[in-house]
Structure 1
């Protein structure tokens, strides 16, 4: 289990490492600079420019046995060139990042596919894999388009990232996910929400999600069909709770415990039983650590 950077709204990296370890998580997902949405007023940081901060972060990860499972921030935009991310990839490799994630906001799908291939090759040269994420607000809007991108790039180290909110909001069911070759799924991001968009724009819901198990997404059925050997990162930004004063540690603790409850409930469920799709997830008391 990991904690994604959006969940902690710009918490500096050394403190982020300690928070994850304190909550029993082995992984964090990272960006190289602070989150622009910063309700707690955390000081700005730049892993890109601050070598001393990188050294402190690496030391903290070694001390607490936490690693960076996913590096974010690699976006295809109209007219951009993924080769411009070479220095950022060098920093990610220095930090021991296992995978980097990409999305596209370029409406040109063919060009986006080519840029994905360039990024995947550059990441591979530095010992990292690459994932592609889809969301209704992006050019790669759904699972089918993401699979087409994977087929185009045609590399074993370029695979899918499944975000539970984006999966459901793009109209897909757990059965759709079950039909995908598990070898093509490299990473998952877990959160909950309503099935229908609440905000006037998609971004409003993306930064104001729900604790896993408290919304309408069929999380247990999604977890049941995900590969068992991937990192599950908790991407649960809850802007309203943060603005109301709930500390980052308390929000993260609630999400970690809820995710463990869901995973335990899934492990205890008799094989072949499914909840009706769209019914709220129900969690059972956690009896194991993941």
Structure 2
């Protein structure tokens, strides 16, 4: 089955949204996820205001380039995050035509985290959005099992797990574990390759050490084949340089992902 291939903003974080849309269009992608919320202090972010000329112009520009704005990212669920403060972001997401919000779990108190996650899901549902919980080994929600627990216990119809194949591999997850998920638990899969074993710092690898699919050792085909239900694919591939070099790398990677997703 063919899946639309999106482009995650991490693949070119220095590009503003309109430029990322151009990059996606020029490399054969179908959609983009936009970094409109700060993931960490000192990292690039491109906030937008609901109802602003800029927001509506970006929506129209994406449409003119044939690119969907699929998800808005990245919201770490921390002790300091009040779910209601995300309402303007959710409104922007709706105005841009996005279908989902990407979050991470960063509260060790699991009951409190689930409560915050459920509240975000309820607010997002009012804007027609799914909420994709992304697990990363260095966060409180660090494994597929952690993410599954949060989604199940939240009891929210729009709660989903985001599976990044690199994070799955580095947290000890397997294709067999993916196969146990209910078909509707995963709507978004971020794809890249990597070395068989971690080389150096895990965060540095995630943000700049990913490989083009087929150039590493991850069992990508097995992982994707294990997923049930309907899901979308996104290429997350930072570190591919700039200009023509990045254009060539992302186009090649997108073509490889299309083959894997057939």
Same fold, TM exceeding 0.5? yes
* Equivalent residues in 2 for 1:138-157, closer than 5 Å: 138-157=139-158
1:21 aligns with 2:17: no
> SS in structure 2 opposite 1:187?
strand
Give the match's secondary structure for 2:184: helix
Distance 1:203 1:50 in 2: 35
CA offset digits 1:137-165 (Å, max 9, x no partner): 11011111111101111122101111101
Counterparts of residues 51-200 of structure 1 (less than 5 Å): 51-200=52-201
**Which one of the candidate residues 21, 31, 35 is aligned to 1:31?**
35
Question: Aligned ranges for residues 274-285 of structure 1 at < 5 Å?
Answer: none
Query: Cα–Cα, structure 1 residues 246 and 137, in superposed 2: closer, same or farther, change >3 Å?
Result: farther
Displacement of 1:195: 3.2
3-state DSSP of counterpart to 2:241: helix
How far residue 37 of structure 1 moved from its aligned partner, in angstroms, is: 5.6
Greater relative contact order, per chain length (Cα 8 Å cut-off, separation 6+): 2
Aligned residues: 255
SS at match of 1:65: coil
User: 2:15 corresponds to which residue?
Assistant: 11
In 1, the alpha carbon distance for the partners of 2:43 and 2:117 equals 27
- Equivalent position of 1:270 in the other structure: none
RMSD between superposed Cα atoms in Å = 2.2
Shift of 1:34: 8.6
- Equivalent position of 1:248 in the other structure: 246
- Per-residue CA deviations over 1:226-261 (Å, capped at 9, x if unaligned) read 2463110101112xx428x76432332232122123
Q: CA deviation at 1:46?
A: 3.7
Whose radius of gyration is greater, 1 or 2?
1
Identify unmatched segments of 5+ residues in structure 2. none
8 Å CA contact retained: 1:78, 1:107 = no
2:104, 2:38 → 1: CA distance?
Answer: 19
2:158 & 2:51 partners in 1: Cα distance? 29
Structure 1 Cα separation of the partners of residues 129 and 51 of structure 2: 22
- CA offset at residue 47 of structure 1? 2.6
Which digits, 9 at most, give the CA deviation of each residue in 1:34-77, with x for residues without a partner? 99567xxxxx8543489333232111122122211111122111
Return 107-116 or 63-72, whichever deviates more. Answer: 63-72
The answer (yes or no) to whether the contact 1:150–1:160 under 8 Å persists in 2 is yes
> Separation in 1 of the partners of 2:89 and 2:64?
24
Measure how far apart 1:190 and its partner are: 0.5
Q: Is the 8 A contact 2:37 2:73 kept in 1?
A: no
Q: Residues 250-289 of structure 1: matches in 2 within 5 Å? A: 250-263=248-261, 267=262
Change (3 A) 1:33 1:154: closer
CA distance in 1, matches of 2:67, 2:229: 20
Task: Point out the more displaced range, 223-232 or 128-137.
Answer: 223-232
Partners of 1:242 and 1:48 in 2: CA distance: 31
TM-score, reference length from structure 1: 0.81
Identify the residue that residue 206 of structure 1 maps to in structure 2: 206
**TM-score, normalising length from structure 2?**
0.89
1:91 aligned counterpart, secondary structure: helix
